[in-house]
A and B are shown apart, each in its own frame.
Chain A
Amino acid sequence: MADIVASSAAARASGRTSLHKVMQRKSTIAFLMALPLILMIFILVAYPAGYAIWLSMLNKSMTKFVGFGNFDFLFKRATFWEIVLQSCIFAITAVIFKAIIGFVVAHFVNNIPTKGQRKWRGMLLVPWVIPAAMSTLSWLWLFDPSYSAFNWIFVHLGLPKISWLGEAGWARFSVILVNVWIGAPFFLIMYLAALKSVPEQLYEAASIDGATWWQRIWFVTLPMMRNIIAITILFSTIVTFANFDIVRVLTAGGPLTATHVFATWAFKVGIESGDIPLGATVSLFMVPILAVAATFILRDISKRGSEV
């Protein structure tokens, strides 16, 4: 009996010390310090994502579990595939133009003497700083078929008026244009920072090695900026792909469904048409497409991460 008491006391004591040890461990402390963030991610990301997956498996009135019924339904609809294509065209074109414009303008700004640079940087950031829904409204007026500035100029130049948001092709162009206008400054600022981090002597070495300005960009600037370019493109692709406000304010997806992207169509189907499970299903389709892009880009970055 005495043995048992003694051993259980010992066990308790050792239990206390081992708990104490666990608490002292660096990994435990690290975990505890990260816990608020982990909880926040769970509440703000994991729970809504799980809930969306759950919703996507219910019927329209959310009373019956239908498994992959909603997915099956979407796959058979031509509109869905149109949305997939439009989202891809929208995101890819917009990101390419944002990247090119950002890169070119970053070079110009980088060549401005430091004194005047801040002013230009500030001004060029304006489109990115204004809330997108607000600036899109002014674009909406610019695109107005009868009273807008654009068509006024066109008429005065003797050109035909354009129905900017009324024809499928022009509507797609307009939506992408506004997205590029808003998003390019982000690329500009990232590329400007990256440009400044390229040592001047590399350019000097390259020009002594016989490189023209174009070869200096191709063989020095671009390789030195590759990681920043990859990360900005990934980040921008995600944001552009999931864009809602610009399309919503400018065209609301019209004419018909010509400018719908995933987010606006999910809103249309889920909120406006009252089929929340189907809307959830649509929005879930963004995940696999973006996941593939992210995997490729991040793998490329980590592969090269060690060299610079």
Chain B
Amino acid sequence: MAQVSLRKVIKKYDEVLAVRGVDLDIADKEFIVLVGPSGCGKSTTLRMIAGLEEISGGDIAIGGDVVNDVPPKDRDIAMVFQNYALYPHMNVYENMSFGLKLKKTPKQEIDQRVRAAAGILDITELLDRKPKQLSGGQRQRVAMGRAIVRDPKVFLFDEPLSNLDAKLRVQMRTEIKKVHQKVRTTTVYVTHDQVEAMTLADRVVVMNAGLIEQVGTPNDLYHSPATKFVAGFIGSPAMNFIPCQLEQAAGALRVRLSDKLSFPVPDGRTARYTSNVGKPNLILGLRPEHIAETRPHIEPNQHDFDQVIEVVEPMGMETLVYFTLAGAEVCGRVNPNAGATAERSMKLRADLSNMHLIDDTTGKVL
């Protein structure tokens, strides 16, 4: 087990910069998830940690040792691939023991470790099967087994759940978390699925266009995103971005969305926002759950407004309502019994205590 650190890591393909200087410190036993849209450099970063891609600049250290020029086989890492990459001609036992066999581990110890790992993953009865005879979920377990058996310093996961169906994905997600709680190996996990990132990670690293946008715990990222990108990427349905103006009127700070609609800024945030009064390109960020139906009891910073609903999407436990505000499509989450109907006006309530003010020129959350 070990910590991993990346210092100004760069990856260049010909003239294209895929990773543009990544700095990251991963603590021992930590579960880090790299998340971002496709092409953001997250897989490349993982493959550089694995040694499958050469780094064009910077340093990567595993357990304190710089491994820039160390081949993958000597880095003491294990990797789970998206398509599992099990050796088709070997059975499960041979697949799992392959790494140990190459290291000339005594047969008895191999057997012991393979059976222990198979026990953790509940695949003991599959040990004699060939990968072709296994289902997707079982192959995924074997691929994880192959990693666990080696007892490496670091586990690397490259979108391991992308090839599974939705139900199995949720199941295996829990499985991966359980395994990590048992073996406590430093883990770097790459995914494009923000739900996976939020549920699995100790800390999430959001990447965009070859750079780290923000590093933080899932709750940090959700409640205090640093940039517009992170605010929009984390959370589903995504955060609403409504163009707005910040105005000072009668000693109070107000967010103006349209001629008719403006909300007072919560007291706690006035000081933070005052300097931005009159700034162009401001955006109000408000998550769908903070736009709900009106209720009799009103809390501080909540404000009712009337709105014609355009689209209604019943989800069962909640209903999503869509409407246009200041030219932006906005989503709200209302109670299924609130009587939301398309093309009818409805009284909604915005909870400004969870608002974000974003400067669209810099992309930073103010």
Q: What is the 8 Å Cβ interface bit string for chain A, positions 198-219, against chain B (1 contact, 0 not)?
A: 0101101111111110010001
Residues of chain A lying within 8 A (CB to CB) of residue B150: 209
Are B88 and A209 in touch, CB under 8 angstroms? no
Are B81 and A201 in touch, CB under 8 angstroms? yes
Are B81 and A204 in touch, CB under 8 angstroms? yes
Interface residue? A308 (CB, 8 A): yes
Are B73 and A224 in touch, CB under 8 angstroms? no
Are A210 and B89 in touch, CB under 8 angstroms? no
Distance, CA A223 to CA B87, complexed state (A) = 9
On whether A210 and B103 interact (CB within 8 A), knowing A202-B85, A205-B85, A219-B98, the answer reads yes
Residues of chain B lying within 8 A (CB to CB) of residue A269: none
* B92-111, CB < 8 A from A: 98-99, 102-103
On whether A201 and B83 interact (CB within 8 A), knowing A210-B103, A307-B88, A308-B88, the answer reads yes
Select which of B74, B83, B88, B102 is within 8 A of A224 by beta carbon. Answer: B88
Are A204 and B87 in touch, CB under 8 angstroms? no
Are A208 and B132 in touch, CB under 8 angstroms? no
Interface residue? A302 (CB, 8 A): no
Question: What is the distance, in angstroms, from B249's C-beta to the closest C-beta of chain A?
Answer: 61
Select which of B50, B74, B87 is within 8 A of A202 by beta carbon. Answer: B87
Interface residue? A220 (CB, 8 A): yes
Distance, CA A209 to CA B78, complexed state (A) = 7
Question: What is the distance, in angstroms, from B290's C-beta to the closest C-beta of chain A?
Answer: 43
On whether A307 and B102 interact (CB within 8 A), knowing A202-B87, A204-B52, the answer reads no
> Binding site of A, secondary structure by majority: helix, strand, loop or mixed?
helix
Distance, CA A246 to CA B77, complexed state (A) = 54
Interface residue? B347 (CB, 8 A): no
Distance, CA A302 to CA B360, complexed state (A) = 64
Residues of chain B lying within 8 A (CB to CB) of residue A199: 83, 85
Select which of A208, A220, A226, A308 is within 8 A of B77 by beta carbon. Answer: A208
Question: What is the distance, in angstroms, from A15's C-beta to the closest C-beta of chain B?
Answer: 49
Are B52 and A220 in touch, CB under 8 angstroms? no
Residues of chain B lying within 8 A (CB to CB) of residue A202: 85, 87
On whether A208 and B89 interact (CB within 8 A), knowing A201-B81, A215-B102, the answer reads no
Question: What is the distance, in angstroms, from B117's C-beta to the closest C-beta of chain A?
Answer: 14
Residues of chain B lying within 8 A (CB to CB) of residue A205: 79, 81, 85-87, 146
Are B72 and A308 in touch, CB under 8 angstroms? no
Distance, CA A201 to CA B71, complexed state (A) = 16
Are B130 and A307 in touch, CB under 8 angstroms? yes
Interface residue? A61 (CB, 8 A): no
Distance, CA A308 to CA B131, complexed state (A) = 9
Q: What is the 8 Å Cβ interface bit string for chain A, positions 214-234, against chain B (1 contact, 0 not)?
A: 010001100110100000000
Q: Which residue on A lies nearest to B52, using beta carbons?
A: A204
Q: Which residue on B lies nearest to A215, using beta carbons?
A: B102
Are B73 and A209 in touch, CB under 8 angstroms? yes
Distance, CA A206 to CA B81, complexed state (A) = 12
Are B102 and A208 in touch, CB under 8 angstroms? no
Are B73 and A210 in touch, CB under 8 angstroms? yes
Q: Which residue on B lies nearest to A203, using beta carbons?
A: B85
Residue of A208, A211, A223, A304 with highest tally of chain B CB at under 10 A: A208
Interface residue? A306 (CB, 8 A): yes
Are A307 and B79 in touch, CB under 8 angstroms? no
Residues of chain B lying within 8 A (CB to CB) of residue A226: 89
Question: What is the distance, in angstroms, from B64's C-beta to the closest C-beta of chain A?
Answer: 20
Distance, CA A64 to CA B85, complexed state (A) = 67
Are B85 and A210 in touch, CB under 8 angstroms? no
Q: What is the 8 Å Cβ interface bit string for chain A, positions 266-308, against chain B (1 contact, 0 not)?
A: 0000000000000000000000000000000000000010111
Residues of chain B lying within 8 A (CB to CB) of residue A212: 73
Distance, CA A202 to CA B72, complexed state (A) = 14
Are A211 and B73 in touch, CB under 8 angstroms? yes
Q: Which 7 A-B pairs rank lowest in CB-CB distance, beginning with the nearest? A: A209-B99, A201-B85, A205-B85, A223-B89, A210-B73, A210-B102, A207-B72
26 pairs, CB–CB < 8 Å, chain A vs chain B? A199-B83, A201-B81, A204-B50, A204-B81, A205-B79, A205-B81, A205-B85, A205-B86, A206-B98, A207-B71, A208-B51, A208-B72, A208-B77, A208-B79, A209-B98, A209-B99, A210-B99, A215-B102, A220-B87, A223-B90, A226-B89, A304-B89, A307-B89, A307-B132, A308-B88, A308-B89
Give 9 new A-B contacts, CB below 8 A, not counting A202-B85, A308-B132.
A204-B52, A205-B81, A205-B86, A208-B52, A209-B99, A210-B74, A220-B87, A223-B89, A224-B89
Interface residues of A (CB under 8 A from B): 199, 201-202, 204-212, 215, 219-220, 223-224, 226, 304, 306-308
